[in-house]
Structure 1
Amino acid sequence: MTKQQYTKPYIQRQVSGMMNKFGQSSILKPMTDFDSIKIEDLVEQYGSPLFVFSQKRIQQKYRELSQLLKLQYSKVQLSWSYKTNYLDAICRCFHREGAWAEVVSEFEYDKAIHLGVPPSTIVVNGPMKSGSLFKKCFKGDSLINLDHFDELCLAEKVAS
Structure 2
Amino acid sequence: MNAGEKDLSYFMLRLKELLNVSFPELQSDSDFITRRSRLAANAYEGAFMSGNSPEQCSEIADFILFENLSFSKFDTVFKVVCSEFDRIMADEELRPFALKMLAVCEPVFAAYDIGNDFAASSAFELLCTELTGTIAIWIEDHGLQ
What TM-score does the superposition give when structure 2 sets the normalisation length?
0.22
Q: Which of these two proteins has the greater Rg computed from alpha carbons?
A: 1
Of structures 1 and 2, the one scoring higher in RCO (CA 8 A, sep 6+) is 2
